[in-house]
Amino acid sequence: MQEFFNISLIITQHLNRGLGERPGVTLSKVSKYKRSLSAEDNNHVLLCDLGGSLGIDQKSSAPRNPAITAMNYMNYEFGVFNHQDVSNISKLRRALSFSDFPWMNCNVGHPRTKEPFFGEPYRVFIVNGMKLIILGSYGGRFIPEAEKKDPILHISRLNTSVKKWLRYIYDLEDPDYVIVCVSDWSEPLEDIVKDMEGVGMLITGSHTLEEDRFDADAGWSNSSNGVLSPSETYPVPESRQVPMHHHHHANQAMHISMNFKTRTNTYEYMGHSVTKIDSELAQLSEDNHLLDLVHYHL
């Protein structure tokens, strides 16, 4: 067991079925980036998506979703839906039938039972013996117009659902470290931060990237609406004074590197760094094997 170890979270969002052979961030280039990290000693890589990458709202006649094919090949660990993904529920369910990894949303449930609609809301990872749990949730309120009269799914209040599932996780799983991921979050966090006792990190995806622009020389740039700052630290109330770090994910790709130390019976969080990697990814070459695989299945 390693005394010091690192967990790299590579987070993507709003790729809009960007497979490759185009400027900017693509799944093909993310695949190249991940492989470079996986070769590092003591580094455990977790690849995840915060929504808007499947292209559910795009027209396509392919028998299976090409983004899912690519993400399976890349060994994504989990995904979290956003408003684009739930714009067509039947199309989304078909795409997910081919997914090798879970899509986690604790507050997207059945209209009657309110139980999670797309399976489990969280996933357990054992990294160097440490039990890491990641809980997924949806920060938007969008429901397709066609679903309002006879809804297929129900969006529960974010803070209520997160609080309930955190209690369940600590009662049942006894985790060493907990991360909460929220897609489509563009409002002040005060209402949910107070209900996140025991959370080590909160990662939020932006609601939209409409103001982002890609420049072939400078890469991606974005202007913030000022609602959330890129990184904030909040004190957690009650007895467990665990620092919670909030990161507003306003780009298409972000790398969070978390450092831990193994103690006799516990694990010590040593800190982390956050890097927006859009510009770096834009300069990489394509993963041709991934593109060949997707082309074969189209």
Helix axes 27-38 and 66-73, enclosed angle (nearest 10): 10
Q: Please tell me the predicted confidence (pLDDT) of residue 7.
A: 96
Least trusted range by pLDDT, from 69-73, 225-229, 269-273: 225-229
Q: How far apart are CA 249 and CA 236, in angstroms?
A: 21
Q: Answer yes or no: is pLDDT of 49 > 80.
A: yes
Q: Please tell me the predicted confidence (pLDDT) of residue 58.
A: 74
Q: What is the pTM of this model?
A: 0.86
CA distances 99 to 16, 74, 251, Å, are 17, 12, 24
Comparing CA positions, the residue from 186, 292, 267, 256 lying closest to residue 3 is 267
Per-residue pLDDT band at 193 (split at 50, 70, 90)? confident
Q: Answer yes or no: is pLDDT of 84 > 90.
A: no
Mean of the per-residue pLDDT values of the chain: 82
CA distances 221 to 216, 225, 249, Å, are 11, 13, 13
Per-residue pLDDT band at 197 (split at 50, 70, 90)? confident
Per-residue pLDDT band at 143 (split at 50, 70, 90)? low
Least trusted range by pLDDT, from 33-42, 155-164, 182-191, 249-258: 182-191
Report the pLDDT averaged over residues 116-143. Answer: 89
pLDDT tens figures, 1-23: 789 999 999 999 999 888 887 88
Q: How far apart are CA 293 and CA 298, in angstroms?
A: 9
